Amino acid sequence: MPRKKRKDESSSDTSVHDSSDEKPAKKAKTEKGGKSSNSDPDSIESWDIGGKRVAKVRKFKNRLFVDIREYYMDNNGDMKPGKKGISLSVDQWKKLKDIVSEIDKTVDENN
């Protein structure tokens, strides 16, 4: 965690910065249809699925993933990804899609 800059410290110290001089990062905005624009450089596309949850297709270490994650608002008002979520490889995503009808049937029978 960065320490706060004291008045008597030189401003040339790059390990310390005064966040009051910086502009806050823009929040992701949800567009019509549930898609959200974001500043995540690894994200290819994302969709708001409600309840502060977002589905994303993203690349990580040159591999493609489907990421479904819960987000939270930090102290600056920015939405950040939380620990609650799952990243599925393309193979795992395809397997999940193959069993969706079975999952739907079980949900309908027990609802």
pLDDT the model gives residue 43: 86
**Gap between the Cα atoms of 94 and 72, Å rounded:** 28
Q: For 37, phi and psi rounded to 5 degrees?
A: -90, 145
For 11-24, the pLDDT digits (tens) are 434 333 333 344 33
Sorted by where each starts, the structural domains of the chain and their CATH numbers stand as 26-109 (2.30.31.10)
Question: Whole-prediction pTM value?
Answer: 0.60
b vs e for 89-106, b when ≥16 Cβ sit within 10 Å of the residue's Cβ? eeeeeeeeeeeeeeeeee
Q: What is the model's pLDDT at position 96?
A: 97
- Would you call 33 helix, strand, or coil by DSSP? coil
Three-state secondary structure call for residue 78: coil
pLDDT tens for 36-91 read: 545 677 889 999 999 999 999 999 999 999 999 999 999 999 999 999 999 999 99
The predicted structure's pLDDT at residue 57: 96
Provide the pLDDT for residue 61. 92
